[in-house]
Amino acid sequence: MTDDPVGRAREAAGILDSAVFKEAVAAVEKEFVERAVEAAADDHEATIEFTRHVRALRAVVATLNQWALTGRLRAAKQEASHVA
């Protein structure tokens, strides 16, 4: 990890855009969905709980992406002010 704000923002965006990260998130989401489907017949509360897990995971990923975007924008603004 670098101390440069622009480099950090690019690195964060690269991690979130990486195939490894996307595959990991997809695998976790798939597991939650499968467990929700399996629980549907027997346990309505478990189905709701796993559905909430899917929603929470999606919210976390969206928040991470927003933070990365915010970091890129701040870094670009900071870089532009140093150039001017």
Q: Closest by alpha carbon to 34, among 47, 20, 21?
A: 47
DSSP class of 18: S
The residue ranges of every structural domain in the chain are 5-83
| Statement: residue 5 has pLDDT above 70 | yes
In Å, how far are 5, 15, 28, 30, 52 from 55, measured between CA atoms?
A: 31, 21, 12, 12, 5
pTM of the model: 0.78
More confident residue, 83 or 13: 13
| pLDDT tens readout for residues 18-64 | 999 999 999 999 999 999 998 877 888 999 999 999 999 999 999 99
